[in-house]
Amino acid sequence: MEKSILITGATGGIGRAVAYLLASKGYSLYLHYNQNEQAMKTLLKELEPFGKDYLPIRCDLGKKGDYKNIINSIFSIDGIVHTSGISHYGLFTDIQDEMVESLWDIHVSSIMYISRDLLPKMLSKQEGNIIVISSIWGQIGASMEVAYSTVKGAQIAFVKALSKELAFNGIRVNGIAPGAVDTNMMASFTQEEKTSIQGEIPMGRMARPEEIAESVLFLLSEKSSYMTGQILSLNGGWSV
């Protein structure tokens, strides 16, 4: 039976890898993006050979109420993969109110609102999946990334709490906490800083977006049918 999945942040490094892998496995997709229309056009072109339905949905998850563009565009849904995110690096004492609000809105509020409003469609089927891409910093925290660590920790709490509420209804809620991933989110780091980070990772390298996508596919599949409320730590041994 064909299944439909919403991917938020589908033009980002992880979101794009997830979209490509799921499309290759026969899923129909709702593809959320914010501003990068060219990236979405390129993604749709890449997915075209797989021959399913791929609906792009544009909205700004940092703008109050804009998430409703997603809700109003979705008819049937079997799963949600929350990959949207922004980063912030700097001293906690220097962070501006606007950045705190943006981090919270994109990483926490939008996930709660979108999941809440789409859950009735999954509850009517008595099955579904919600997957949240969190971060290693949500588990152990990071200096110079206090606000980012905070919202990523909130995502993990959301996964654990909601999984208990929905388990009896056949809906599973899980998360993935990657370490350093080789995406544009690392663009603000110098090559020297990237090399230093890789030196701290026992496996000696960053994760590839495709590796995160494979874990998403696993969590959506029947292979993980007895798994809910769990956070998969994909960090190359950075935190054990």
* Alpha-carbon gap, residue 31 to 58, rounded angstroms: 8
Contact 36, 12 (CB under 8 A): no
Nearest to 91 by CA among 142, 135, 151: 142
Between the alpha carbon of residue 54 and those of residues 1, 27, 31, 40, 173, the distances in Å are: 17, 9, 7, 11, 23
> With a threshold of 0.85, does the pTM exceed it?
yes
Domain ranges for the chain, please list them.
4-234
Give the strand order in the sheet containing 54-58. Answer: 54-58, 28-33, 4-8, 79-82, 128-133, 171-178, 231-234
**15 and 38 Cβ atoms separated by less than 8 Å:** no
Of 20, 30, 54, 148, which residue is the catalytic one?
148
Respond yes or no: is residue 148 known to be catalytic: yes
- Measured in degrees and rounded to the nearest 5, phi and psi for residue 39 equal -65, -40
Q: Which two tokens mark 131?
A: 């997957």
pLDDT on residue 184: 82
Q: Work out whether the CA dihedral 196, 202, 204, 208 comes out positive or negative.
A: negative
CA atoms within 13 A on the CB side of 69: 18
Q: Which residues contact 227 (CB under 8 A, 6 or more apart)?
A: 172, 174, 219
DSSP state of 107: I
DSSP E strand boundaries for the chain: 4-8, 28-33, 54-58, 79-82, 128-133, 171-178, 231-234
Dihedral angle sign, alpha carbons of residues 214, 69, 184, 174: negative
The 8-class DSSP code of residue 75 comes to: S
CA–CA distance, 85 with 105 (Å, rounded to integer): 10
In order along its 240 residues, the chain shows pLDDT tens digits of 789 999 999 999 999 999 999 999 999 999 999 999 999 999 999 999 999 999 999 999 999 999 999 999 999 999 999 999 999 999 999 999 999 999 999 999 999 999 999 999 999 999 999 999 999 999 999 999 999 999 999 999 999 999 999 999 999 999 999 998 988 877 778 889 889 999 999 999 999 999 999 999 999 999 999 999 999 999 999 987
Q: What's the topology of domain 4-234?
A: Rossmann fold (3.40.50)
Q: Which pLDDT value is given to residue 52?
A: 96
Please tell me the predicted confidence (pLDDT) of residue 160.
Answer: 99
* β-pair partners for 5: 29, 79
Distance of alpha carbon 205 from alpha carbon 192, whole angstroms: 14
